[in-house]
């Protein structure tokens, strides 16, 4: 597709968080969370209430965010196979057309010497650990544990983690960059700055003031919460709960509330960083000619149904916050048309005034590519009947998982499990799975046909596993990976911080 230029090209500040459940914001009606700056951003701009990631795990999601293409086209399947710059990103397009395009903070790309990701400059980057991430994520049948999950609850406390300090450094560097930019003669081409923070990704450790905002409250238990594994849940959900192990260590309601205090504290800590960046825009005089985009790489189950972490197709996990503010963007508007990471590519180009074919490198896509889903700029009118796609091919799954949805229905296709179907209009909390209910089988078949019209689930699954087999061999074989030491559940922060 070709994007159309917006009426007023402008600079763009992208604020990207990590693992932010889209329901955990004040403007979404959350009972406890305090997010005054994100709430203000939503009031002053347009919020997309049915936004979701391309994959509910970091590295594939960030590759799709960069390239505007679904995972099965580019082949970045898991947290071991990071984005390497082979496929054109919006960063490449902007830089090649003379725009300054800068990243500050976590990228989670491959990180090999010589990789060109398209940035004019990349400050304080975090890439996958040692250029190979967590190899155990490649092992899927049977899956290989990357830990017993105890670290999730154990980390829920007041304190200061490496991730907190990393976010402090990212925020300070971003504020300095904006201040420096305000002293220069405005460029004839708008710039794009992406500030990529780690919060609220666990460890659930956050400085005392933020933890204390929630630790003394009678926090409501998450919806559908059960201790341990819910034996009535969908087979994939049971398998994920057992494999991740997080909820196996929660024994009392106090444990649950302590974890929620850590997560909510991190969200408010993140919100404060957003406020600092927005104030800097105002103080430097850059706000009038700078649009702002806030989004996350994926969500977090945050205890709903007894699940923690991401990796599922429930809205808490696959959903993301997405807010836009600035010239030509309606204030106080909420859009319920489904959008995704794939729409960011044309949106960024539209924002700075570039017309470009977003499928320019289509010929380099894998052989299993079906007709691509149509991405659209969020600055223009969206097709109300559009479909969006997410997929998952890694840790905790023995075979591929796909999500296809429109405004009303969500269809989840498992290569090795029964499907799920949710009527989001009647059941926005996804507590009533229609997938196996007899009256809805014709509708399930219709959605299956729609998915098969876009891609062959079995063939895509085979392609992912073939690539993972190559990586397993390159990393010394399955036995060596299983016997090796785990990275610890999350990527270590960069060692060299200011």
What pLDDT sits at residue 3?
41
Which CATH superfamily does the domain covering 11-483 fall into?
Alkaline Phosphatase, subunit A (3.40.720.10)
Phi, psi of 122 (to 5 degrees): -130, 115
Average pLDDT along the chain, 498 residues, taken 10 residues at a time: 59 98 98 98 98 97 97 96 96 96 97 96 95 91 85 96 97 98 83 98 97 97 97 96 94 98 98 98 96 98 97 98 96 97 96 72 38 80 93 95 97 98 98 98 98 96 97 94 78 78
Q: Which of 488, 448, 106 is nearest to 270 (CA)?
A: 106
Question: How many residues would you count in the chain?
Answer: 498
Distances (CA, A) of 116 to 111, 130, 311: 9, 17, 29
Task: Judge whether 355 and 2 are in contact, CB under 8 Å.
Answer: yes
Q: Tell me the pTM.
A: 0.95
Distance CA 25, CA 264 (A): 9
Distance CA 99, CA 91 (A): 9
What pLDDT sits at residue 268?
98
Torsion of CA 58, 61, 67, 71, to 10 degrees: 120
Distance CA 241, CA 236 (A): 9
Contacts of 164 (CB under 8 A, 6+ apart): 199, 205, 206, 207, 269
Residue 199, token pair as written in the block:
């919060």
SS3 assignment, position 66: helix
What pLDDT sits at residue 484?
82
Other Cβ atoms within 10 Å of 34 Cβ, number: 19
Task: Judge whether 274 and 38 are in contact, CB under 8 Å.
Answer: yes
Task: Judge whether 280 and 175 are in contact, CB under 8 Å.
Answer: yes
């Amino acid at each position: 597709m070709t994007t159309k230029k917006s009426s007023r090209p402008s600079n763009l500040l992208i604020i990207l968080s990590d693992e932010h459940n889209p329901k955990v914001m004040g403007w979404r009606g959350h009972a406890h969370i305090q997010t005054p700056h994100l709430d203000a951003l939503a009031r002053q701009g347009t919020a997309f209430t049915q936004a979701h990631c391309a994959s509910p795990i970091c590295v594939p999601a960030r590759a799709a965010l960069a390239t505007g293409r679904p995972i099965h086209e580019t082949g970045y399947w898991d947290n071991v196979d990071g984005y390497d710059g082979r496929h054109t990103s919006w960063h490449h397009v902007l830089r090649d057309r003379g725009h300054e395009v800068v990243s500050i903070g976590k990228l989670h790309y491959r990180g090999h010497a010589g990789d060109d990701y398209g940035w004019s400059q990349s400050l304080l980057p975090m890439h996958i650990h040692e250029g190979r991430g967590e190899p155990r994520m490649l092992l899927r049948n049977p899956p290989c544990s990357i830990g017993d999950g105890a670290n999730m609850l154990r980390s829920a406390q007041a304190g200061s983690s490496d991730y907190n300090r990393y976010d402090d450094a990212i925020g300070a560097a971003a504020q300095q960059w904006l201040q420096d930019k305000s002293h220069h003669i405005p460029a004839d081409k708008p710039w794009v700055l992406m500030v990529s923070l780690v919060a609220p990704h666990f460890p659930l450790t956050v400085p005392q003031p933020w933890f204390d905002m929630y630790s003394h409250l009678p926090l409501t238990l998450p919806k559908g919460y059960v201790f341990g594994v819910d034996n009535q849940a969908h087979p994939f959900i049971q398998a994920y709960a057992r494999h991740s192990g997080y909820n196996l260590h929660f024994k009392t309601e106090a444990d649950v509330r302590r974890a929620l205090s850590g997560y909510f504290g991190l969200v408010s800590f993140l919100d404060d960083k957003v406020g600092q960046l927005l104030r800097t825009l105002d103080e430097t005089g850059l706000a009038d000619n700078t649009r702002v985009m806030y989004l996350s790489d994926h969500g977090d189950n945050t205890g709903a149904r007894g699940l923690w972490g991401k990796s599922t197709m429930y809205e808490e996990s696959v959903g993301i916050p997405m807010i836009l503010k600035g010239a030509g963007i309606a204030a106080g508007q909420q859009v319920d048309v489904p959008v995704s990471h794939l729409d960011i590519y044309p949106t960024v180009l539209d924002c700075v005034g570039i017309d470009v074919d977003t499928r320019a490198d289509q010929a380099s896509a894998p052989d299993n590519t079906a007709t691509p889903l149509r991405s659209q700029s969020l600055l223009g009118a969206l097709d109300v009947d559009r479909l969006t796609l997410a997929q998952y091919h890694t840790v905790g799954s023995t075979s591929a998982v796909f999500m296809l949805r429109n405004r009303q229905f969500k269809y989840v296709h498992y290569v090795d499990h029964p499907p799920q179907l949710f009527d989001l209009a009647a059941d926005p909390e996804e507590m009533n799975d229609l997938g196996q209910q007899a009256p809805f089988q014709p509708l399930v078949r219709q959605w299956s046909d729609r998915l098969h019209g876009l891609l062959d689930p079995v063939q895509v699954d085979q392609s992912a596993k073939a690539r993972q087999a190559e990586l397993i061999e390159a990393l010394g074989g399955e036995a060596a990976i299983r016997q090796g030491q785990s990275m610890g559940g999350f990527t270590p922060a960069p060692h060299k911080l200011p």
